[in-house]
Structure 1
């Protein structure tokens, strides 16, 4: 699956010495969190610092912040000494959140995104988005947060007003979770045959249920890749199979989905039913990553079909 890596972002910073907060004069919280999301699905590697070949949790936060001229220390324990402490109730997008996953103090760090979500490099799913209050894992392991940068007031207000950050790319795990819920599937069986879907994962039941319906298939290595983003073409296939949609009349054509394209049938069916539409340039955006907004809108339109 293709990766979308960071576009050049031009922002100036005034760095404060010591362990105080960096004043990000030209940066916004959205720029930082959007940058972090560009790396969804990047592989995990203990001690790794390379976003393409493998990176660990503190390496990931360090790498993202470095794009904005902010230097973080190497380990999660060291990063916990930077900036200023922030209570859980006062978290803002861009804050660093810390967890005790080893039983011996700070051992994991991520970047808070807002709406109770954070992004981090995990041992199971690589760079992934999780719920900070997840009762099955993260919630009980949360330790605290640090603010290492102050973002512009204008952006802070915009983020505060947004109930959901719909710029988040839809990961395969999140698609499975929301789709299983929309279909009212029995998700009690969490024993998926995918080697990277552990029974205790929050999406395990949904993945297993959809796997039984042959909606989702893994890669050549038997992996589901729950943290990887899904493209609009792949999402079209998943929705067509999940809902048993059929071609309705003559489907519109798209410049980037010729008749011999693997997604042609699925895109045609989705478009012929008025579920998905193309772009102004005549393309479908078949290889573009789908967002949670795309997913929710498509599901709603399917449910409203007569």
Structure 2
């Protein structure tokens, strides 16, 4: 991948009030996973509590849950004493999963995100996603799981006529944010799109992103700055914006089969391990992207490629 240098854009996370350790009804599975994966690539440090300088496994789970208004104790063994026991066959996204990596009992904790995967701060790769059934390491060290909160499934389907743009990002808003993060020259406002006039607030950003192959218009030559952007569309925007090449094995998603219009974009993005699908094995290709999601994506690239 040809690296593009980015300006940090730090995500603002909603702190949900009124959430106890057994109920997080205000937070969805997507809120959890997006918050957890915002820190992909953050370095590991035993005893550390800093995303920038290093964080250990229990400090990481404590941090993620605190962003959703849920308090956890500091150590993995203390976290293992929280919540209710969950069998491996009944795991749900948001459950804490525990491992014996020291030979002396519970010594590692992560967050289950569905599809037999969990995310944790690892000594070898920092914050990363692994399989709980990994035959080479994690599978044999699995101890058990605890449920400290219940997360709702996100309502993915949003009718276009009632899109809440305080929550969901428009194509124009994404263009502005990406152009700023990539430090693009936005002085050229002569957009190639019919519906972006030179005096439009989006003109410079849209033109600059079009030049690097990140944004294209529709069949009529329009950009549609006030339309929401889907995860499938965003996959192509990000692969163009960051010059992505295939970086290893990509995850396969049931709603993006080979031949689907978004297949190549999703494949490239998935291969970076900076985005994952839903617990049911889908990518959510038609789901609208929230402001938090796009900020999270940019931050993940900062952590992975600008270290």
- TM-score class normalised by the smaller sequence: 0.5 to 0.7
Task: Show structure 1 runs of 5+ residues with no match.
Answer: 16-20, 159-231, 233-251, 272-277
Spell out, residue by residue over 1:22-58, the C-alpha distance to the aligned partner (whole angstroms, 9 max, x if none): 2113111221121101111111111110112211100
Partners of 2:43 and 2:52 within 8 A in 1: yes
- 2:110 aligned residue: 110
SS of the aligned residue for 1:109 comes to strand
- The count of aligned residue pairs is 195
- 1:297 aligned residue: 263
Misfit runs of 4+, over 4 Å? 1-5, 278-281, 287-296, 299-302
Hey, what's the Cα distance between the residues in 2 that align with 1:55 and 1:39? 10
The within-5 A match list for 1:127-138 is 127-138=127-138
The within-5 A match list for 1:178-257 is 255-257=207-209
Hey, what's the Cα distance between the residues in 2 that align with 1:121 and 1:4? 22
Hey, what's the Cα distance between the residues in 1 that align with 2:106 and 2:67? 24
- 2:122 aligned residue: 122
Task: Show structure 2 runs of 5+ residues with no match.
Answer: 157-177, 179-192, 194-205, 217-221, 226-235, 269-307
Structure number with greater CO (CA < 8 Å, separation at least 6) is 2
Spell out, residue by residue over 1:191-219, the C-alpha distance to the aligned partner (whole angstroms, 9 max, x if none): xxxxxxxxxxxxxxxxxxxxxxxxxxxxx
SS of the aligned residue for 1:23 comes to coil
SS of the aligned residue for 2:207 comes to coil
User: How far 1:257 sits from its partner (Å)?
Assistant: 4.6
Hey, what's the Cα distance between the residues in 1 that align with 2:267 and 2:75? 46
Hey, what's the Cα distance between the residues in 2 that align with 1:30 and 1:63? 17
Q: Taking structure 1 as the reference length, what is the TM-score of the superposition?
A: 0.53
Q: Do residues 83 (structure 1) and 83 (structure 2) align?
A: yes
Hey, what's the Cα distance between the residues in 1 that align with 2:26 and 2:209? 40
User: How far 1:4 sits from its partner (Å)?
Assistant: 6.1
Hey, what's the Cα distance between the residues in 1 that align with 2:145 and 2:34? 20
Q: Taking structure 2 as the reference length, what is the TM-score of the superposition?
A: 0.53
Partners of 1:13 and 1:25 within 8 A in 2: no
- 2:63 aligned residue: 63
- 1:141 aligned residue: 141
Q: Do residues 30 (structure 1) and 19 (structure 2) align?
A: no
- 1:100 aligned residue: 100
Hey, what's the Cα distance between the residues in 2 that align with 1:300 and 1:70? 32
Hey, what's the Cα distance between the residues in 2 that align with 1:301 and 1:34? 19
Hey, what's the Cα distance between the residues in 1 that align with 2:148 and 2:101? 22
Hey, what's the Cα distance between the residues in 2 that align with 1:94 and 1:5? 23
